[in-house]
Amino acid sequence: MERKLIITGVVAAVASMALAGCGKKDDGVIRIGHVAPLTGGIAHLGKDNENGARLAIEEANAAKPTLGGKPVRFEIIAEDDQADPKVGTTVAQKLVDAKVVGVVGHLNSGVSIPASSIYNQAGIPVISGSSTNPQLTEQGYKTQFRVVGRDDQQGPAVASYLAATRKPKVVAVVDDATAYGEGLANEVEKTLTAAGIKVLPREKGDDKKTDWKAIVTKLRGEKPDAVFYGGMDATAGPLLKQARELGLTAVFAFGDGACTDKMKELAGNAAEGLLCSQAGIPAQAADKKFLDAYKARFNVDPILYAPFTYDAANLLIAAMKKADSADPAKYLPDLAKIEYDGATGHIAFDAKGDRKDAEMTIFTMKSGKIEPIAVIKSGRTIPFAEFTGAAASATAAPKPATAKK
């Protein structure tokens, strides 16, 4: 009922926007859309994403940009998709009707995927800074890009880190029987088996499970050295807590769904020392210049994916400048073959629109906080301290070059 009202509201808003959009044309304003949930449980992450894109656009305007010889001004149209696929498609249509030339978003894979076909039909390039589900770029849409890694890169990353640093002989793999959890667990199992590690028969729960005792008891009998769980923190927390209560001492590793500080609340002291992975790099490892500018503009530190949406918006603008046009059809080819140094490092896209050499970060829980310990890049494990050191010096050197672009 409530949702129906909201949707009606959105539809009404779309209609009025469309009418308003008819009036202004060719006034030198180039509209770029940004979509993320701005209400609901992950509204704080949505706002973080929006801030990243907003900062990029404000910086671009400060440089008095021109396209095709005429001065232009970029404008952000920030929308709320409520992390809901249905609302996401409505909002996507609204942006298309408002004649945006490019979109940064959406935050959730589940929303990005249905929305991507709408942007594709309209021929509008869209770059997600946080959607990691492989399917997003597997649909063959030429307009879809992402600057963050994919889940099927995340599994091998966390598995190879586990294999290399903890040297387990027997590993138990558990999942929550969802597309995300099972997919991730499959990738981990593949990598571990390839490394010659024995993997126990898969145990499965579901995404609402709170009682893991029976499964953990069974695992305890098999004496695994490590356990990997593909699932979200809500189920991973109880799993870890009950495992420690039952005396299972194995190392626990998780994917990004359970790579949150909430694990500490859910599992208590049992959460100490867990390993987990996230696609991309932590916000604090982004370019120093970006971090300072973000802090100065919004008076908070970026939380998670803001550096990625900042880069995404900059990529759209850089491609437009290169093509000297804001027409999506004209600048899309330039976007596809762009080489760009952004806040999250060097960015180039492969044929599918995925970022080449996307980084994965491995975290551990240390005194109640998730802390990065290593970055995996092109199959190489780099300790985190070394990575940030390297990133700082790398971005320091070519700065004049990026400024010229």
Partner 1 sequence: MDIFLQQLVNGLTLGAVYAVVALGYTMVYGIIQLINFAHGEVVMIGAMVAFTIINALAGSGLPPIVIVVIATGCAIPVCMLVGYAMERFAYRPLRRAPRLAPLITAIGVSIILQHLAMMVWSRNVLAFPQIIRTETYMLAGAAITNVQIVIIAISIAMMAALAWLVYGTRLGTAMRATAQNPQVAGLMGVDINAVIASTFLIGAALAAVAGVMVGSYYGVAQYTMGSLLGLKAFSAAVLGGIGNIPGAMVGGVLLGVVEALGAGYIGNLSDLCRIPGIASLLEERCRGDAHFILFGSNYQDVFAFFVLILVLTLRPSGLLGERVSDRA
Binding site for partner 1 (CB under 8 A): 41, 177, 198, 201-206, 208, 210-211, 213-215, 217-218, 220-221, 233-234, 237-238, 241-242, 245-247, 262, 265-268
We find the least distance from the C-beta atom of residue 237 to partner 1, in angstroms, to be 7
We find the least distance from the C-beta atom of residue 40 to partner 1, in angstroms, to be 8
Give the residue with the Cβ less far from partner 1, 174 or 312: 174
We find the least distance from the C-beta atom of residue 85 to partner 1, in angstroms, to be 16
Give the residue with the Cβ less far from partner 1, 33 or 237: 237
Give the residue with the Cβ less far from partner 1, 48 or 233: 233
Task: Say if residue 106 is preceded by a cis peptide, omega within 30 of 0.
Answer: yes
Token match 């129906």: residue? 4
Give the residue with the Cβ less far from partner 1, 265 or 339: 265
The C-alpha angle with vertex 197 and arms to 194 and 201, in degrees rounded to 5, equals 100
DSSP state, 256?
G
We find the least distance from the C-beta atom of residue 160 to partner 1, in angstroms, to be 23
Return d(Cα 372, Cα 365) in angstroms, integer.
9
Count of all residues that appear for the chain in the document: 405
We find the least distance from the C-beta atom of residue 246 to partner 1, in angstroms, to be 5
Give the residue with the Cβ less far from partner 1, 86 or 352: 86
We find the least distance from the C-beta atom of residue 245 to partner 1, in angstroms, to be 5
Contact present, 228 and 173 (Cβ < 8 Å) = yes
Cα dihedral: 196, 200, 201, 203 (round 10): -130
Contact present, 28 and 326 (Cβ < 8 Å) = no
Burial class (CB in 10 A: 0-12, 13-18, 19+), 287: buried
3-class secondary-structure state, position 377: strand
Give the residue with the Cβ less far from partner 1, 36 or 391: 36
